[in-house]
A and B are shown apart, each in its own frame.
Chain A
Amino acid sequence: MSTLAPAVSEQLVAPWVEWARRYTRGRRLLEAGTYALTEGAIAAGCRVFAGYPITPATDIAEYMSKRLPQVGGYYVQCEDELAGMHACAGASLGGLKAMTATSGPGYTLMHDAYGWSITNEIPLVVVDAMRVGPISGITGAPGQGEFYIARYASHGGNFETIVLSPSSVQEAFWLTIDAFNLAERFRTPVTILTDQVISDMWEDLFIPEDYDALDFVVPRKNNLMMPFYPVGSADLDVPPNVIGHGTGVCVSAYTHTEEGYDIEEMEAQWAQTYRLINKIRHHRDQLTRYETVGVEDADVIAVAYGANARTVKTGVLEARRRGVRAGFVRLITLWPFPDELFERDVPYVVCELNYDGQLVREVMRSAPDGKKVRFMGKSAELHTVAEVAAGLEGVARTGRIPELPYIWTEVR
Chain B
Amino acid sequence: MNRLAKKYLRPSQIPTKACHGCGIGMIENWLLQAIDEMGLKQDDVIFGTGIGCVGRQTFATWGGDNFGATHGRALAVATGLKLAQPDKKYLIVVGDGDAASIGTSHLIHAARRNLGVTVICEDNMGYESTGGQFSPTTPAGYVTNSSPYGMVEPGFDPCDVVKAAGATFVAETTATQWHQTVKIVKKALANDGFSFVHVRFPCNENFGAYALGTRDTLKNLEWIYEHTQGRKADGTDADFTWETGIKHDASNSRPEFSRLMRDMNARVKADMKAKQK
Asked if chains A and B are in direct contact (CB within 8 A), the reply is yes
A183 to chain B, nearest CB (A): 15
How many A-B pairs have beta carbons closer than 8 Å: the answer is: 146
**A86 contacts B by Cβ under 8 Å:** yes
Chain A contacts for B10, CB-based, 8 A: 248
Chain B contacts for A247, CB-based, 8 A: 65
Select A79's contact among B68, B85, B105, beta carbons within 8 Å. B105
Question: Which one of A28-36, A142-150, A249-257, A329-337 is at the B interface?
Answer: A249-257
Chain A contacts for B78, CB-based, 8 A: 90
> How far apart are the CA atoms of A73 and B70 in the complex, in Å?
26
Q: A83-B73, A83-B106, A96-B83 are in contact. Are A244 and B66 (CB under 8 A)?
A: no
Q: Are B70 and A251 in contact (CB under 8 A)?
A: no
Interface string of B30-51 (1 = CB under 8 A from A): 0000000000001100100001
Identify the closest chain A residue to B261 (Cβ): A74
Q: Are B66 and A249 in contact (CB under 8 A)?
A: yes
A50 to chain B, nearest CB (A): 6
B184 to chain A, nearest CB (A): 26
Q: A69-B268, A70-B272 are in contact. Are A251 and B68 (CB under 8 A)?
A: yes
> How far apart are the CA atoms of A92 and B85 in the complex, in Å?
10
Chain A contacts for B66, CB-based, 8 A: 248-252, 260
* Interface size in chain B (residues, C-beta < 8 A): 41
Interface residues of A in 51-101 (CB under 8 A from B): 69-70, 72-74, 76, 78-80, 82-83, 86-96, 98
Q: Are B76 and A94 in contact (CB under 8 A)?
A: no
B64 to chain A, nearest CB (A): 6
Question: Which interface residue of B56, B70, B108, B261 has the most chain A CB atoms within 10 A?
Answer: B70
Q: Are A94 and B85 in contact (CB under 8 A)?
A: yes
Chain B contacts for A245, CB-based, 8 A: 65
Chain A contacts for B106, CB-based, 8 A: 79, 82-83
A78 to chain B, nearest CB (A): 7
**A246 contacts B by Cβ under 8 Å:** yes
Q: A244-B88, A250-B59 are in contact. Are A83 and B79 (CB under 8 A)?
A: yes
Q: A76-B79, A83-B109 are in contact. Are A246 and B60 (CB under 8 A)?
A: no
Q: Are A90 and B76 in contact (CB under 8 A)?
A: yes
Q: Are A80 and B105 in contact (CB under 8 A)?
A: yes
Select B84's contact among A93, A248, A252, A262, beta carbons within 8 Å. A93
Select B70's contact among A72, A86, A95, A250, beta carbons within 8 Å. A86
Interface residues of B in 56-86 (CB under 8 A from A): 56, 59-60, 63-71, 73, 76-85
Q: Are B73 and A113 in contact (CB under 8 A)?
A: yes
B119 to chain A, nearest CB (A): 15
Select A248's contact among B64, B80, B85, beta carbons within 8 Å. B64
**B265 contacts A by Cβ under 8 Å:** yes
Identify the closest chain A residue to B84 (Cβ): A94
Q: Are B84 and A91 in contact (CB under 8 A)?
A: yes
Select A250's contact among B60, B80, B82, beta carbons within 8 Å. B60
Interface string of A116-131 (1 = CB under 8 A from B): 1000000000000000
Interface string of B235-277 (1 = CB under 8 A from A): 0000000000000000000000000010011001100100000
**B2 contacts A by Cβ under 8 Å:** no
B270 to chain A, nearest CB (A): 11
Identify the closest chain B residue to A88 (Cβ): B80
**A48 contacts B by Cβ under 8 Å:** yes
Q: Are A113 and B70 in contact (CB under 8 A)?
A: yes
Chain A contacts for B129, CB-based, 8 A: none
> How far apart are the CA atoms of A338 and B198 in the complex, in Å?
52
Q: Are A72 and B269 in contact (CB under 8 A)?
A: yes
Chain B contacts for A50, CB-based, 8 A: 79-80
**A362 contacts B by Cβ under 8 Å:** no
Chain B contacts for A98, CB-based, 8 A: 80
Q: Are B70 and A87 in contact (CB under 8 A)?
A: no
Interface string of B178-207 (1 = CB under 8 A from A): 000000000000000000000000000000
A243 to chain B, nearest CB (A): 5
Identify the closest chain A residue to B60 (Cβ): A250
Q: Are B79 and A90 in contact (CB under 8 A)?
A: yes
Q: Are B70 and A116 in contact (CB under 8 A)?
A: yes
Q: Are B76 and A246 in contact (CB under 8 A)?
A: no
Q: A79-B109, A83-B109 are in contact. Are A252 and B80 (CB under 8 A)?
A: no
Chain A contacts for B269, CB-based, 8 A: 69-70, 72
Q: Are A87 and B65 in contact (CB under 8 A)?
A: no
> How far apart are the CA atoms of A88 and B73 in the complex, in Å?
12
Q: Are A82 and B265 in contact (CB under 8 A)?
A: no
A99 to chain B, nearest CB (A): 11
> How far apart are the CA atoms of A243 and B67 in the complex, in Å?
8
Chain A contacts for B88, CB-based, 8 A: 244
Identify the closest chain B residue to A50 (Cβ): B80
Q: Are B12 and A89 in contact (CB under 8 A)?
A: no
Identify the closest chain B residue to A251 (Cβ): B67
Q: Are A86 and B80 in contact (CB under 8 A)?
A: yes
**A203 contacts B by Cβ under 8 Å:** no
> How far apart are the CA atoms of A86 and B70 in the complex, in Å?
9
Identify the closest chain A residue to B65 (Cβ): A243
Q: Are B105 and A90 in contact (CB under 8 A)?
A: no
> How far apart are the CA atoms of A243 and B85 in the complex, in Å?
8
Chain B contacts for A250, CB-based, 8 A: 59-60, 65-68
Q: Are B67 and A87 in contact (CB under 8 A)?
A: no
Q: Are A93 and B265 in contact (CB under 8 A)?
A: no
Q: Are A246 and B77 in contact (CB under 8 A)?
A: no
A51 to chain B, nearest CB (A): 11
Identify 18 residue pairs between A and B in the complex whose beta-carbon atoms are under 8 Å apart, listed by A's number.
A50-B80, A72-B265, A74-B261, A79-B106, A83-B76, A88-B80, A92-B80, A92-B84, A93-B77, A116-B73, A243-B81, A244-B84, A246-B64, A248-B66, A250-B67, A252-B67, A253-B68, A254-B68
The 6 closest A-B pairs by CB, nearest first: A94-B84, A90-B80, A244-B85, A91-B80, A252-B68, A87-B80
